[in-house]
Every structure is written in structure tokens, then in C-alpha cells.
Amino acid sequence: MPPRQTPEREWRVDLRGTVFRMVATDATVYCLTLRSGGSGDVYAVRTDGVIRWHEADLDGVGSLDYVAGRLYLGGRTFRALEADSGGELFETKLPDGQAYSAVEHRGTIYVATNTDSFYGLDADTGAIQWHASIGGDHGVSIYRGQPLVSSPYRIRCYRSDRSPLTALLGEPPAIHTSWQPPHQSVAVLWPAVVDGTLYRGAVGTDRSTVPLIAYDLDAGRRRWHRELASYVYTPAVDPDAGRVYTFARPAGARTSHGTVYALDSASGATAWSQPLDFRAGCPVIANETVYLSGPDDDGGRVVALDSSTGAVRWEAGVGDSQVNHALLSVGERLYVGGTGEMVALA
């Protein structure tokens, strides 16, 4: 379990660029770093801080997903790497858009982009099997064996199988369910899907508040929504406690404060709220504790809140450089990403 008491820095590892996204297995943390000019690096770091492998100078990379022993790198070119070695399995140039997220199911990689395009790739070769037009930035996940796509304007669930004729014609799978949200805010990527409900934050630079929305995926309707602030981050969900945790803040590039909310997962009612005096990111829930990280005047900070009450368990300064919002809980450690480094707390 990650620390409930004030932790110590166990190790740090130097990286090129700023950590943008981290994913992990029990033995390895994979992180994507971005640099000015649009290039990025991918690192595989053991839990003792030793770098297993490093792929450098990947042009136009912008997302990282781990699926069944593979790493999928999004960008103008979609890449698949062998997670154990970093060896490239294939790369596919997308005709339109930049890949933002990807999942694999039954031999097909479903790729969501930052444009109107949604792709199905052959999981063995990377060849494009089909292409669909669905509208806007979106994220993709698998729900009950079917691809689920969330965009600013609609949520669609596709069938996971295609008829022989559809496959022969290179057409996308049929739409199983589709519904349109009443709010036209820009969706935050990677919504949380837990126990049949999709929870989605939003951003709205021209609005004082935008909602955190809960959708019942089986009924195809909104369960509840809560207007919180101009930026409502992707939430963390604890199904056992029946709580949804998110960080919300006002608009503004220099905004350095916000509020953590714990909401009832069934109704959206506020269980507690805790203001923070730094700009945190998406929360992580583990060990009955809500963890958040973000930059402050001294480089960066991690805060741990009691998940039942919102009381501060501990705060810790971390990193020798600017900390961003990349935070990951694996086993007994917290991994914190920043500019030029990753830090492990235990």
C-alpha cells in the first residue's frame, strides 16, 4: 500500500523532457516525456529506480497506453512497442489526426484521435482496417466487451464484431448505443468508467463552472451532474466507498489554487471538500487516501487526504525541478513526474 504517513524520497531518476504520462505493471513504470519541438522519449524504469530501456527522439508522440505486454504510443504516427524490450512492433501513419488513446480487443486496436477520426487497426500488423467519423477530441475504452468512445458531443458504444461484408468493405463496426450529453463543454481525456457508470470532467474557459457528469452506460442516460468550476479534472472512483474524487479549479493560466471534492457516486452530493493552495491534477485513490500532486513555488508538492473526511494526512515537497500533474500509485510507492525527473516516494 502507498504511504499514509509522511513518506521519504526513495530514489529519483533523471529524464529528458517533462513527464507527461505514466503507466505501470508490478515491476516496471513506463513514462512518456515531452520536449519542446514536439519530440518525446519513452522510459521503462524498474521499481528500484534502474532504467531498463529508453527510446529517444520519437517525433510527434503525445500519448502512452499499456495493453497486454505492449506499449501504444499515440501521435501523428501510431506506434506499438514491446514492453519488455522497447523494440518496435509496428508503426502506422494515420491519415488524419493525432492519436490520443488506444485500447485493444479481439485482435483490433481502437484508436481515438484529436479530430473527427476513429480508427480500427490490426493488432498484429498495425494495418488500418476501418475508419469512422465521430466528431471531436475523444477517449476510448472497453465496456462489457464493446468499444466505448466519449467525445465532447456524444457517447457511443460500438459493436465489437463486424459482419463479413462490413469487414470486406473496410467499414467500421455498427453503433450499439449512442446518446448526446446536454452540456457542450470540451471533455477531459480518459474518463473514468466504473461499475457501469462513466464519470467525465470538463473544461470551459468561457464559463465560470462546468460539470462533472455521471452517465449510466446500461440505461444510456445521465445519472447526475455537478457544476464545480471552470476546470474539472478526470476523477478517481472508489466503488467500495461509493465516492468520486476530483480536483476543480478556476480558469486562468496562472491560477494556483483549487478544491478537492468527494462526491457520492449515486447522487453527486458533496461528502466533503478540501481547498488546496497549489494547482493539483487528477487525484489517485489508494489505501483509503486521496493523493494529488502539482507545481508550487518550491518546485512541487504531493498531498495526501483522508478519503473519508478530506483531512490532510500529510504534505511533502518533492523534486528538484518543476513537478507536473503526473502521479501514479503502484504497490507501496507513489511515483511523481516532473521536468527532467521522476521521483519515488515510500
pLDDT tens for residues 188-209? 667 899 999 999 888 876 778 8
pLDDT for the residue numbered 100: 84
User: Is residue 136 over pLDDT 60?
Assistant: no
- Gap between the Cα atoms of 316 and 253, Å rounded: 24
Using the Cα atoms of residue 162, residue 163, residue 164 and residue 165 in order, give the sign of their dihedral.
negative
Mean pLDDT confidence for 286-292: 96
- Gap between the Cα atoms of 83 and 237, Å rounded: 27
**Dmax over Cα atoms in the chain, in whole Å?**
60
Per-residue DSSP letter, 130 = E
Given a contact cutoff of 8 angstroms between Cβ atoms, the answer to whether 334 and 328 are in contact is yes
Given a contact cutoff of 8 angstroms between Cβ atoms, the answer to whether 160 and 143 are in contact is no
Given a contact cutoff of 8 angstroms between Cβ atoms, the answer to whether 1 and 286 are in contact is yes
- Gap between the Cα atoms of 53 and 30, Å rounded: 10
What are φ and ψ of residue 20, in 5° steps? -105, -40
- Gap between the Cα atoms of 207 and 247, Å rounded: 17
CB atoms within 10 A of CB 135: 15
Provide the grid cell at 16. Answer: 529528458
Which H or E run includes 167? helix 164-168
pLDDT for the residue numbered 87: 96
Which H or E run includes 111? strand 108-113
- What is the pTM for the complete model shown? 0.90
| Chain segment 27-41, per-residue pLDDT in tens | 999 999 999 877 899
Domain covering 185-277: architecture = Beta Barrel (2.40)
- Gap between the Cα atoms of 138 and 67, Å rounded: 19
